[in-house]
Amino acid sequence: MKLYPFTDFFKGFEKVQAVRSTHLDRRTEEVLRNLKVEFFSFKFGYMTVSDVDGHILISTYHLRNSDFKVLYLDIIHELVHVKQFMDGRQLFSSEYEYVDNPTEVEAYRNAVREAKRIGMTDEEIIEYLKVEWVNEASHTRLVEAVGLKIE
Ligand SMILES: [Zn+2]
């Protein structure tokens, strides 16, 4: 496993308000400076945060094939998990379905706020919230949990 400095690949995230508020503003630079990323090449999975040491894992397939906005929002999402990990919260839980896990809802809410700020429409955001391992009923729950409605 090879870890790289996050800031070698992802620039300017310390200036994004959605990230600053997640990391309580003053510590943002420090958190991002110390953050590591690992790249993996499997086709499945996009990004996640290690529940062992809090580094971000990113699929190179996802990086090559996804829309820039999707990647941007995924990073915003994962940076919430980085904070949750630092706070000692349990990132993954078999107690909840993926879309009901409070750590996921919090991460998605932050990403959706940012999506709105950068001008994405509700339709685009609802589409963004579709992930292949989530069925339609769960997708609808997630959409509602972030305060949107499927027309
Ligand atoms: Zn997540």
CA of 26 to the centre of ligand 1 (A): 24
Measured in whole angstroms, the distance separating CA 92 from the mean position of its chain's CA atoms is: 14
- 87 band by pLDDT with thresholds 50, 70 and 90: very high
Dihedral angle at the C-alpha atoms of 123, 104, 28, 61, nearest 10 degrees?
Answer: -70
- Average the pLDDT over 72-91 and give the result: 95
Pairing mode, if any, of strands 56-59 and 36-40? Answer: parallel
**Cα–Cα distance for residue pair 132/94, rounded to 1 Å:** 19
- Average the pLDDT over 4-12 and give the result: 96
- 22 band by pLDDT with thresholds 50, 70 and 90: confident
- Average the pLDDT over 4-11 and give the result: 97
By the CB criterion, residues less than 5 angstroms from ion ligand 1 are 104, 107
Q: Is the pLDDT of residue 97 over 80?
A: yes
Q: What are phi and psi of 77, to 5 degrees?
A: -60, -50
| Between residues 132 and 37, the one the model is more confident about | 37
CA of 136 to the centre of ligand 1 (A): 18
- Average the pLDDT over 11-38 and give the result: 90
CA of 71 to the centre of ligand 1 (A): 13
CA of 129 to the centre of ligand 1 (A): 11
Q: Is the pLDDT of residue 125 over 90?
A: yes
- 25 band by pLDDT with thresholds 50, 70 and 90: low
CA of 151 to the centre of ligand 1 (A): 25
- Average the pLDDT over 118-130 and give the result: 97
